[in-house]
């Protein structure tokens, strides 16, 4: 802040540290001394003790100590705190003076150097006469000392040196200049710090001892002074808790002083100093709430202590500095780790400082007289060039009475202060404070506060006549206010911006702001808008506009000269203004009449214009630019009839444009890229208002939303005309060019669902309904693209009906030529589809052709197409189940080698259509049939939906060479087609892989020959055949179990030997006793040489039951006659 009067003194703002003076060091010419000094002052980390070092000559003159006062009885203090006191104890009066002297314990000239050292110590003491400053001696030695007690010479000489110099043993130090210099220096620092602590403790006690001599009648100032000094010494002692306590006491005492106009400034100054110290220590102790509470208390106590009314600007300057200083303290604490929030951050204090600075500026303008010369001699000059006490007037220093000693001098002093205040650059101060506040609000994400303060900064730049920066800031924030629809604020900002543009003679900005102030977002009165519109028309006619109101007369004369220069320039009479992001006085909306147009239709679009200004406005040209530049020539209207190019206030006018699209743009989107409206004329000055896209501005989106909501609340009524409801007009900025509507019919004929692997026939019929010839008709048929990739590999399409599709046939047949179609003609085409897998499929039939047509007198060749899609489900025609059974029709899980068994197949139809089974066959791998060429049992069988067809084959498995007991059977082939299909249509062959069988080898094969039935009490011969299937002679033990249903004759139990490969037969005569299905006597067979083969394994080849008929009766003649 300009003016040192309000700046806080640097000694108040710094961190107080103990002051230690170093003497006897030649840091310029002595390298050892320089190294010692660098170790003291360079790279001081935070963990080192807080000491301020200075190198001083040995005979340095320290400030003289005043004679100690023994009584305060007749003493009247002249002020609270002397201006040089803090600096004196920070930088002039040391707590400790350290004398460095090069002396080793074994120095040959020890006596002489001891005497010289004592002399130097005496010189230092003499210069500190009357001070309590401590003195210490450091001996710089070349050798590393021995541990204490081991070097007797060193101990003796150290004692002698202390006696000679009148030092205590704690004030003599040794500094070896070795590699560990920094470590020795740190140890020295700690010792120095202890001496300094002792000094400041002594000073505190000395100041406290004065209290008993004071009285509260005449020594009120001394109470404040002593408490401040004790607190300051406590800070130097690094006792911040006690320092804070004494500062709080001093603050309470300063507000107990009797305040009047002559001492008001001094009281506020000291209150500000002490408050600064308290707040700083609170932040340092990490108690920010205490700091904020103290500052608020400070402001509440001081904000009404204005002082002299003629110097009221001083109070606002002081208040501004208080807020600024606290903001800086707050910001500094945040950088050291304190966390701030949106509602409590330094930005608020910088903002308040700026507000008081603005008040200071207003008061200065009211109180300071312009053109008055400073009185001589200058009352603000002092003999010493500065004040003795903080906060006093230069012309009456030390005066503490209520009335000024010299009224005339007081008057001259006030006048000098007013003149000095008149030279202060207030706007610069305000801008700096606002800039700090903006940075803080930006950091803590407070966008509205940031915008608000940026507006104030712009206005200050305007007052400071820096119009370029003012416009830059105001333009930045206007976007936010437009978006949030703060129209009153936007109008105020635009008014300031218009003044800046006028005073700069910036034609383009001036026109832009005029247009927005004339628009619907402006809250200006009609007469103000009329004035602005007249000025705008003058600028468009290349004439000088009238000056803006509230502009300084001196500035307006300079601006008029600038405008005259602008009018004389001929090369700068054409401007283009992007108004999309503003709210201009001419509204524009455009739309295509449809989201899409067929290529044989003219494309139509409308442009709506509405003026919001108080008077009619004329324009000379309206042009729409499109994404395809070739259409732009059809979307221009220029001034021919003056009435058609005039916009009346509040009325909506619309213009229609149409053009014919090109056939190559079919499938493309046409967009409006911009709309341009020309105001003015080429002869004077022309301005092109440009809208991006299809028009609209910063406010139209929200207005359209409001209009749609209100229309929903009102309900859907009759469609309003555009002039009546502008906000409900919707913008349609693009349209799609689509192909001409085809006038053909495409019919599909087929019988779903499709059966797996069949040649599914789809008949396509295309009939022309065109008035002309449809040329080059082409068909694309097949699987619609974009489906599962697996479907394209399992779907095959062909036009041929004579052969079955294979994997080489595609899933989609493109561009099948169908020739030309005359009006009313039709053409048919059959497409055959083979689906290898089941599931739904979408098939596409795309018929394309070209035809000549006329659009608005222009002949164009249109390509038309029609798509038909159909979803066809593919199902399996039948389900085949296979099982292996024995010759007794019992299920087999294992098959015996070289023993007949049966293969049974069942076909269950799952097709909704009848199926004709033409043939079936077996392709065996390792099996053999009992018949050489078995005839198909399903030949020419027709299966209806849900019916089942079965077939049976007798098979036998020969011995296999390898040891694998699982062998493949083969395949079952079925040839079929739909019964309704033509006889010459290709047959579909379905292949079913038969399951593998598990083989087993039996050593003995037993089978029986017996009649198909027996009769009660009639002999039933049964012959058992026993074959040895091994290479060994087998012993066979046979036994027949008795049965209740049969008597039998034959060997009931027998033991046989059967040679390898031989057969033995056993004959039994069974005599049935009961009719019905009877269980035959069980034959038990055991093989001693093959214990793994049991009776049950061999018995499975034998019949278990037989049907026995009842006994027949002989018919005689009598019974016949009776019947």
What pLDDT is stored for residue 60 in this prediction? 87
Other beta carbons less than 10 A from residue 386's beta carbon: 10
List the single range of 99-103, 726-730, 1071-1075 with lowest mean pLDDT. 726-730
Report how far apart, in Å, the C-alpha atoms of 1005 and of each of 474, 477, 1027, 1041, 1063 are. Answer: 113, 108, 5, 20, 9
The predicted pLDDT at position 227 comes to: 93
Residues 6+ apart with CB under 8 A from 327: 346, 347, 349, 350, 353, 436, 440
Q: Residue 721: pLDDT above 50? A: no
Q: What six digits make up the tokens of 871?
A: 């979803």
- Whole-number Å distance between alpha carbons of 613 and 586: 8
Burial per residue of 459-491, b for 16 or more beta-carbon CB atoms within 10 angstroms, e otherwise: bbbbbbebbebbbebbeebbebbbeeebbebbb
718 band by pLDDT with thresholds 50, 70 and 90:
very low
Q: Which residues are within 8 A (CB) of 210 and not within 5 positions of it... i.e. 6 or more apart? A: 69, 72, 222, 226
Across all residues in the chain, what is the average pLDDT? 87
Structure tokens at 968: 């493949």
Name the H helices within 505-599: 507-517, 526-540, 553-568
Backbone angles phi, psi at 535, to 5 degrees: -60, -40
pLDDT at 720: 40
Query: What is the pLDDT averaged over residues 159-169?
Result: 89
Residue 1113 pLDDT: 66
pLDDT at 4: 57
Percent of the chain at pLDDT above 70? Answer: 94
Local confidence band at 722 (pLDDT 50, 70, 90 cut-offs): very low
Contact of 215 with 230, CB cutoff 8 Å: no
Question: 721-748 burial string, b = 16+ CB within 10 Å, else e?
Answer: ebeeebbbbebbbbbebbbbebebebeb
Sheet holding 988-993, edge to edge: 941-943, 915-924, 970-978, 988-993
43 backbone φψ class: left, alpha, beta (φ>0; ψ -120 to 50): left
pLDDT of 150 > 80? The answer is no
Q: What is the pLDDT of residue 968?
A: 84
With 50 as the cut, is the pLDDT of residue 2 above it?
no
Taking residues 334-358, what's their average pLDDT? 92
Work out the number of other CB atoms within 10 angstroms of the CB of residue 1091.
Answer: 8
Lowest mean pLDDT among 65-79, 218-232, 567-581, 994-1008: 65-79
pLDDT band at 33 (very low <50, low <70, confident <90, very high): very high
Average pLDDT for 1054-1072: 87
Query: What pLDDT score does 572 carry?
Result: 66
State how far the Cα of 603 lies from the Cα of 593, in Å rounded to an integer. Answer: 8
- State the pTM of this model: 0.69
Q: Is the confidence at residue 713, as pLDDT, over 70?
A: no
Closest CA to 137 of 104, 170, 112, 91: 170
Phi-psi region of 769 (alpha: psi -120 to 50; beta: other; left: phi over 0): alpha
**Full 3-state SS string of 782-834:** EECCCCCHHHHHCEEEECCCCCCCCCCCCCEEEEEEEEEECCCCEEEEEEEEE
Mean pLDDT computed over 256-275: 90
């Amino acid at each position: 802040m300009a003016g040192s009067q309000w700046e806080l003194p640097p000694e108040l703002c710094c961190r107080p540290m103990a002051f230690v003076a170093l003497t006897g060091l030649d840091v310029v010419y002595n390298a050892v001394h320089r190294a010692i000094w660098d170790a003291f002052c360079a790279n001081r980390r935070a963990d080192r003790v807080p000491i301020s070092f200075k190198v001083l000559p040995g005979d340095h003159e320290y400030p003289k100590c005043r004679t100690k006062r023994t009584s305060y009885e007749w003493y009247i203090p002249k002020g609270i705190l002397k201006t040089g006191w803090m600096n004196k104890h920070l930088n002039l009066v040391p707590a400790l003076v350290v004398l460095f002297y090069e002396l080793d314990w074994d120095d040959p000239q020890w006596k002489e150097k001891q005497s010289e050292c004592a002399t130097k110590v005496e010189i230092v003491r003499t210069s500190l006469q009357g001070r309590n400053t401590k003195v210490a001696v450091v001996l710089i030695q070349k050798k590393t000392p021995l541990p204490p007690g081991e070097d007797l010479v060193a101990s003796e000489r150290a004692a002698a040196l202390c006696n000679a110099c009148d030092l205590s043993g704690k004030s003599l130090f040794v500094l070896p200049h070795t590699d560990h210099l920094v470590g020795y220096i740190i140890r020295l620092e700690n010792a120095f710090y202890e001496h300094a602590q002792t000094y400041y403790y002594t000073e505190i006690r000395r100041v406290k001892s004065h209290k008993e001599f004071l009285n509260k009648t005449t020594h009120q100032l001394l109470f404040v002074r002593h408490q401040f000094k004790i607190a300051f010494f406590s800070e130097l002692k690094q006792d911040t808790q006690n320092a804070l306590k004494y500062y709080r006491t001093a603050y309470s005492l300063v507000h107990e002083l009797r305040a009047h106009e002559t001492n008001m400034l001094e009281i506020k100054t000291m209150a500000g100093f002490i408050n600064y110290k308290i707040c700083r220590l609170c932040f340092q102790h990490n108690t920010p709430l205490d700091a904020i509470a103290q500052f608020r208390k400070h402001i509440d106590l001081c904000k009404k202590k204005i002082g002299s009314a003629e110097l009221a600007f001083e109070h606002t300057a002081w208040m501004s500095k208080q807020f600024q200083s606290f903001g800086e303290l707050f910001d500094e604490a945040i950088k050291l780790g304190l966390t701030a929030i949106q509602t409590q951050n330094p930005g608020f204090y910088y903002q308040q400082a700026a507000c008081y600075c603005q008040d200071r500026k207003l008061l200065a303008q009211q109180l300071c007289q312009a053109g008055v010369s400073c009185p001589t001699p200058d009352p603000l000059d002092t003999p010493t060039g500065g004040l003795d006490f903080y906060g006093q007037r230069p012309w009456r220093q030390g005066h503490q009475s209520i009335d000024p000693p010299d009224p005339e001098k007081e008057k001259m002093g006030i006048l000098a202060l007013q003149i000095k205040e008149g030279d202060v650059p207030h706007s610069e101060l305000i801008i700096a404070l606002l800039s700090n506040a903006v940075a803080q609000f930006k950091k803590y994400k407070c966008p509205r506060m940031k915008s608000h303060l940026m507006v104030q900064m712009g206005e200050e730049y305007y007052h400071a006549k820096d119009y370029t920066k003012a416009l830059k800031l105001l333009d930045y924030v206007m976007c936010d206010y437009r978006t949030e629809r703060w129209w009153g604020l936007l109008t105020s900002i635009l008014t300031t911006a218009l003044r800046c543009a006028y005073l700069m003679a910036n034609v383009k900005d001036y026109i832009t702001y005029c247009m927005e102030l004339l628009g619907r977002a402006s809250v200006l009165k009609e007469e103000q808008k009329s004035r602005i519109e007249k000025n705008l028309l003058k600028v468009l006619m290349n004439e000088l506009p009238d000056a803006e109101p509230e502009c300084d007369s001196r500035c307006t004369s300079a601006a008029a000269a600038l405008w005259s220069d602008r009018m004389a320039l001929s090369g700068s009479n054409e401007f283009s203004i992007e108004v999309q992001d503003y709210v201009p006085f001419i509204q524009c909306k455009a739309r295509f009449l449809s989201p899409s147009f067929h290529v044989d239709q003219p494309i139509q679009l409308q442009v709506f214009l509405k003026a919001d200004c108080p008077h009619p406005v004329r324009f000379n040209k309206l042009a729409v630019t499109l994404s395809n530049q070739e259409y732009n020539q059809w979307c221009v209207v220029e001034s021919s009839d003056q009435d058609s190019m005039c916009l009346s206030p509040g009325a909506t006018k619309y213009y229609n444009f149409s053009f014919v699209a090109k056939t190559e743009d079919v499938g493309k989107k046409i967009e409006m890229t911009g709309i341009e409206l020309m105001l003015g004329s080429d002869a004077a000055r022309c301005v092109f208002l440009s809208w991006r896209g299809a028009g609209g501005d910063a406010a139209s989106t929200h207005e359209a939303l409001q209009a749609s909501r209100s229309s929903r609340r009102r309900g859907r009524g009759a469609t309003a005309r555009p002039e009546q409801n502008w906000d409900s007009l919707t913008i349609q900025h693009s349209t799609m060019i689509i192909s001409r509507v085809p006038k053909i019919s495409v019919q599909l004929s087929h019988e779903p669902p499709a059966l797996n692997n069949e040649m599914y026939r789809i008949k396509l019929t295309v009939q022309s309904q065109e008035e002309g010839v449809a040329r080059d008709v082409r068909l694309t048929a097949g699987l619609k693209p974009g489906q599962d990739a697996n479907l394209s590999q399992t779907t095959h399409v062909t036009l041929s009906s004579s052969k079955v599709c294979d994997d080489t046939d595609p899933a989609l047949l493109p561009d099948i030529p169908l020739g030309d179609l005359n009006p009313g003609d039709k053409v048919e085409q059959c497409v055959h589809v083979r689906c290898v897998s089941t599931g739904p499929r979408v098939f596409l039939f795309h018929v394309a052709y070209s035809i000549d047509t006329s659009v608005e007198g222009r002949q164009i060749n249109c390509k038309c197409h029609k798509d038909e899609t159909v979803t066809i489900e593919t199902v399996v025609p039948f389900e085949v189940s296979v099982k292996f059974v024995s010759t007794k029709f019992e299920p087999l899980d294992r098959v015996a080698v070289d023993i007949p068994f049966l293969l049974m197949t069942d076909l269950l139809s799952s097709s909704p259509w009848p199926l004709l089974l033409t043939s079936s066959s077996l392709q065996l791998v390792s099996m053999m049939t009992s018949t050489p060429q078995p005839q198909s049992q399903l030949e020419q069988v027709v299966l209806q939906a849900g019916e089942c067809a079965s077939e049976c084959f007798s098979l036998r498995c020969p011995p296999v060479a390898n040891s694998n007991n699982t062998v493949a059977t083969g395949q079952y082939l079925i040839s079929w087609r739909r019964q309704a299909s033509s006889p010459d249509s290709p047959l579909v062959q379905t292949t079913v892989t038969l399951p593998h069988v598990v083989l087993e080898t039996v050593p003995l094969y037993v089978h029986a020959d017996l009649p198909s039935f027996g009769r009660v009490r009639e002999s039933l011969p049964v012959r058992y055949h026993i074959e040895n299937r091994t290479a060994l002679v087998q012993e066979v033990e046979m036994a027949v179990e008795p049965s209740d249903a049969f008597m039998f004759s034959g060997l009931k139990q027998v033991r046989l030997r059967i040679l390898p490969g031989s057969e033995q037969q056993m004959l039994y005569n069974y005599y049935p006793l009961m009719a019905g299905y009877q269980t035959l006597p069980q034959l038990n067979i055991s093989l001693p040489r093959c214990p793994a083969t049991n009776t049950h394994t061999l018995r499975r080849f034998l019949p278990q039951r037989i049907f026995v008929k009842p006994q027949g009766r002989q018919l005689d003649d009598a019974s016949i006659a009776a019947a």
